[in-house]
Amino acid sequence: MEKKLMHLFEAQQFDLNTIDALFSLATSLEENPQPVLRGKIMATLFYEPSTRTRLSFESAMLRLGGDVISTENALSVSSAVKGEPLEDTIRIVSMYADVIVLRYFESNIAERLLPIASVPIINAGDGAGQHPSQALLDLYTIHRELGRIDDITVVMVGDPKHSRSVHSLAYLLGKYKNIIINFVAPEELQIADDLLTYLDGHGVQYTKTHDLTAAIGEADVVYRNRLQKERFESETLYEKYKEMYLIDVPMASRMKQGAILMDPLPRIGGITTEVDVLPQAVYFKQARYGLLIRMALLAHMLA
C-alpha cells in the first residue's frame, strides 16, 4: 500500500510501494497532465541558489493547475536579512501557502520544523544534508533508462562528503536488492561513516577508492557530482581537487555498453561538452524527469 507523505525531509521516508506509485503517477502525468491542484498555492523559499530544483517545482505546480509564490535568494531579500528566524518565516508562509518547498543552508531542518509545520514542507536541499526529491528523480532516471533498479553497480564520483544529492540517493538505493556502490573521491572528501553504517544495515555492498579510471568500467550508473565549493573549509583544498575527476570522451568511453552517466548538475569542472552527444549521457533527460517526478510528488502530497 502506498503511504501518503505529509512532509518530505529525507530520502529514507520513501517506501517501495510509494516509490512505485510515484513513478506510475509521473509517467501518467507525462502523457496526460491533469489540473488536480487547481486552487492550491505552493511557496518556494530558497536560501541558496538553484536553477533546476526551484524552476521544476514551480513549473510542476503550474502544470497541475496550481499557483506559485516565490522567494528566490531568500537570504538577501526576505526578512532573513533583518534576522527573522527560519521558524517564524515558516509559520508565516504556512498561512499563505498550502505547501512550502524550502532550500536552506544548514542541515537537519526536520528537527526544527516538524514541531511547527502546519502545511506540508518539502526539503529542496538542506546544506550538506539531504535532497530527497533529487534522489527520487535520480532513481526514476535509472528506472526509465536502465529498466531496473535492483542488481546494479553505481559509481558515485566527486564529493560524497558534502553532496546532499549523493547522500539522498545512497539512502534510497539502500531499499533495493543487490546494490553495489563505489564511492570515488580523495580521502578528505569521502563518504561519512554514518551513511556507511546505514548501508551495512541495508545489505548494500560498498567500496571506496580515489581511482576513477579503475572504477568506471564496472558501473551500470556513473553518478557524478561537482565538488561542493560552498561547503569547503579551505580554498586550497578545493583548488587541489577541483578538476580531479574530469569526465571527457576518453573517460566516458571506458564505461560499459548500456551504462548511463548522470549528474544532478551544474556540471562545473566535471563533464566536457563533447560527452553530451554520447549515448551514455543522460543528465539532461534527468533534469526533465525531475519535472515529472515533482509533479507526481506534489499531486501525491496535495491532491
**Cβ nearer to ligand ASP, comparing 40 with 103:** 103
Active-site annotation holds for 175: no
Cβ neighbour number for residue 48 with a 10 Å cutoff: 16
**Cβ nearer to ligand ASP, comparing 94 with 134:** 134
**Cβ nearer to ligand ASP, comparing 57 with 98:** 57
Q: Is residue 56 close enough to count as binding ligand ASP by CB under 6 A?
A: no
Active-site annotation holds for 226: no
2 close to 296: Cβ distance less than 8 angstroms: no
Per-residue contact string for residues 125-154; x = within reach of ligand ASP by CB under 6 A = x-----x-----------------------
CA distance 77 to 296: 30
To ligand ASP, the closest distance from the beta carbon of 125 in angstroms equals 5
Among 71, 130, 165, 168, the residue binding ligand ASP under the rule CB under 6 A is: 165
CA distance 188 to 191: 9
176 to 94, 143, 179: CA distances (angstroms): 35, 12, 7
Active-site annotation holds for 161: no
**Cβ nearer to ligand ASP, comparing 37 with 154:** 154
Cβ neighbour number for residue 194 with a 10 Å cutoff: 8
- Ranked by CB distance to ligand ASP, the top (closest) residue is 264
To ligand ASP, the closest distance from the beta carbon of 131 in angstroms equals 5
To ligand ASP, the closest distance from the beta carbon of 225 in angstroms equals 5
Active-site annotation holds for 4: no
Q: Please give the residues from 195 up to 224 whose contact with ligand ASP meets the rule CB under 6 A.
A: none
For residue 140, which of 267, 277, 301, 296 has the smallest C-alpha distance?
A: 296
Residue in 103, 161, 167, 294 annotated catalytic: 103
Active-site annotation holds for 52: yes
- Catalytic residue positions, numbered: 52-53, 82, 103, 131
Contacts to ligand ASP by CB under 6 A = 125, 131, 164-165, 225-226, 264
